[in-house]
């Protein structure tokens, strides 16, 4: 059995073919980073138009690499929540078109559950129940994951997502988009203790929420001085940029690690799964490993290729296929986050 999985929730156009035994026959990701770079972040209208141009070539290439023809497909799965409405619609319409033309079932994928399922794919074994930390450009959320399809929200950012903060601070420092990899690179020669940036909400031992907006403002004021608009990044020395990047990164990592293990404590679960673009961060991965080892917690961080958006994590469709969860052709997109699934 072959499932075509499609992913167009944000700015990556991706497709994969997965078998019922979770084998990945092919996976293609067309990144739009180059299109959004000059704006310092994802522009929704540009993203949806680029998906329209790329979705058919990406599917064609995926089938070619898998050595399959459309008639060899048994189902099509598509991420329909959460994400940018216009981007989600492109994947959904493509998926429905295949289903109608081939008379095969349609499967809905929750993109946040899929980010955690990337850990399941890499582990090659069950990882549930677990605490799931999803950290991306659009989300920073902690879930109690009883099973791959049964998630309950424990906490989330009350303002910016972690990846969004990386992207905005990179722009303040004159570094390119996407900001996460750029800040990671810039931080290498920097001192993470150079600037005492705030760690919002870490003092609160009950709440499992995050806040990165004040941190972003603190970086801005450090660069420009209170009440002033941006200082041109050219005025910063390379060492200042490195120190600012390292200090900012350390503050984000402190908050993420702190709340992730607080969630482990509060739920009594002994497994932590981490996915999403920011999970690619080397400093974060190192700190998570250290803390998990120290506490005896089983840790699964998505492999680098499966952190940022891809269609392999759409393999969660296998779980829905087995559970007989198929969709009608009037399936819609749901841009917002669902607090409880299952
Ligand atoms: O999961 P993803 O591809 O898209 C969303 O669903 O949002 O995540 C993209 C985000 C961007 O904000 C990017 O800056 C961040 O992930 N990112 C990183 C790293 N690589 C990507 N953040 C920190 N460190 C990295 N190495
Ligand atoms: Zn994502």
Q: Are residues 99 and 151 in the same domain?
A: no
10 lines ligand 1 (CB under 6 A): yes
The residues that bridge with 155 in the sheet, in sequence order, are 142
Q: Are residues 294 and 312 in the same domain?
A: no
**CATH code at position 332:** 3.30.420.40
Q: Are residues 264 and 229 in the same domain?
A: yes
Q: Of the bound ligands, which one is closest to the alpha carbon of residue 308?
A: 1
Number of structural domains, the chain?
2
83 lines ligand 1 (CB under 6 A): no
Residue 235 lies in a domain: yes
Q: Of the bound ligands, which one is closest to the alpha carbon of residue 185?
A: 1
Going from the Cα of 10 to the center of ligand 2, the distance in angstroms, rounded, reads: 7
- What's residue 38's pLDDT? 86
- Does the N-terminal peptide bond of residue 82 adopt cis geometry, omega within 30 degrees of 0? yes
Residue 191 lies in a domain: yes
Give the pair of three-digit tokens for residue 4: 């075509």
The segments of the chain whose pLDDT lies below 70 read 226-234, 342
Residue 319 backbone dihedrals phi, psi, to 5 degrees:
-65, -40
Residue 121 lies in a domain: no
With 0.85 as the threshold, say if the pTM is over it: yes
Residue 87 lies in a domain: yes
Going from the Cα of 270 to the center of ligand 2, the distance in angstroms, rounded, reads: 24
User: What pLDDT digit, counting tens, does each position of 37-56 carry?
Assistant: 888 888 999 999 999 999 99
277 lines ligand 1 (CB under 6 A): yes
Q: Are residues 139 and 251 in the same domain?
A: yes
Q: Of the bound ligands, which one is closest to the alpha carbon of residue 179?
A: 1
Q: Are residues 96 and 216 in the same domain?
A: no
263 lines ligand 1 (CB under 6 A): no
Per the structure, the complete domain to which residue 136 belongs is given by: 126-306
184 lines ligand 1 (CB under 6 A): yes
Nearest ligand 1 atom to the CA of 136 is 8
Going from the Cα of 147 to the center of ligand 1, the distance in angstroms, rounded, reads: 25
The residues, ordered by sequence, that sit 6+ positions from 304 with a Cβ below 8 Å of its Cβ are 280
Going from the Cα of 161 to the center of ligand 2, the distance in angstroms, rounded, reads: 11
- What's residue 276's pLDDT? 97
User: What pLDDT digit, counting tens, does each position of 227-261 carry?
Assistant: 655 555 558 999 999 999 999 999 999 999 999 99
163 lines ligand 1 (CB under 6 A): yes
Q: Are residues 291 and 319 in the same domain?
A: no
Nearest ligand 1 atom to the CA of 252 is 23
Q: Are residues 54 and 91 in the same domain?
A: yes
Q: Are residues 293 and 315 in the same domain?
A: no
Q: Are residues 212 and 333 in the same domain?
A: no
Looking only at Cα atoms, what is the longest distance across the chain? 62
Q: Are residues 162 and 299 in the same domain?
A: yes
Q: Are residues 228 and 325 in the same domain?
A: no
Residue 120 lies in a domain: no
Residue 259 backbone dihedrals phi, psi, to 5 degrees:
-70, -35
Mutate to test the pocket of ligand 1, among 9, 11, 81, 163 (most ligand atoms within 8 A of CB): 163
209 lines ligand 1 (CB under 6 A): no
How many Å apart are CA 206 and CA 160, to the nearest integer?
20
Mutate to test the pocket of ligand 1, among 118, 137, 305 (most ligand atoms within 8 A of CB): 137
- What's residue 227's pLDDT? 63
Going from the Cα of 295 to the center of ligand 2, the distance in angstroms, rounded, reads: 28
275 lines ligand 1 (CB under 6 A): no
278 lines ligand 1 (CB under 6 A): yes
Q: Of the bound ligands, which one is closest to the alpha carbon of residue 111?
A: 2
Going from the Cα of 286 to the center of ligand 1, the distance in angstroms, rounded, reads: 17
Give the pair of three-digit tokens for residue 31: 């990144």
- What's residue 339's pLDDT? 72
């Amino acid at each position: 059995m072959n499932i075509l999985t499609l992913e167009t929730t944000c700015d990556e156009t991706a497709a994969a073919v997965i078998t019922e035994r979770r084998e990945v026959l092919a996976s293609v990701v067309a990144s739009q980073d180059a299109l959004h770079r000059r704006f310092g972040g994802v522009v929704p209208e540009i993203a949806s138009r680029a998906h329209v141009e790329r979705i058919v070539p990406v599917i064609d290439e995926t089938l070619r690499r898998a050595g399959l023809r459309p008639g060899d497909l048994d189902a099509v799965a598509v991420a329909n929540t959460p994400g940018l409405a216009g981007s989600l619609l492109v994947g959904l319409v493509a998926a429905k078109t295949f289903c109608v033309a081939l008379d095969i079932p349609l499967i809905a994928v929750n993109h946040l559950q899929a980010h955690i399922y990337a850990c399941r794919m890499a582990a090659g074994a069950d990882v549930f129940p677990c605490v799931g930390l999803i950290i991306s450009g659009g989300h920073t959320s902690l879930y109690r994951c009883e099973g791959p399809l049964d998630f309950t929200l424990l906490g989330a950012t009350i303002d910016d997502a972690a990846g969004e903060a990386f992207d905005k601070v990179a722009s303040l420092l004159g570094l390119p988009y996407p900001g996460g990899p750029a800040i990671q690179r810039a931080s290498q020669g920097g001192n993470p203790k150079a600037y005492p940036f705030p760690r919002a909400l870490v003092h609160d031992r009950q709440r499992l929420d995050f806040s990165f907006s004040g941190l972003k403002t603190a970086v801005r004021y450090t660069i420009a001085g209170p009440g002033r608009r941006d200082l041109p990044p050219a005025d910063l020395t390379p060492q200042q940029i490195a120190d600012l990047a390292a200090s900012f990164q350390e503050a984000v990592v402190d908050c993420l690690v702190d709340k992730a293990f607080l969630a482990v404590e509060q739920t009594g679960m002994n497994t932590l799964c981490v996915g999403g673009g920011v999970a690619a961060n080397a400093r974060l991965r190192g700190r998570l490993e250290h803390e998990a080892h120290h506490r005896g917690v089983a840790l699964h961080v998505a492999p680098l290729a499966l952190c940022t958006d891809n269609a392999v994590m759409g393999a969660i469709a296998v779980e829905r296929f087995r559970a007989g969860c198929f969709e009608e052709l009037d399936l819609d997109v749901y841009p917002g986050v669902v607090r409880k699934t299952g």
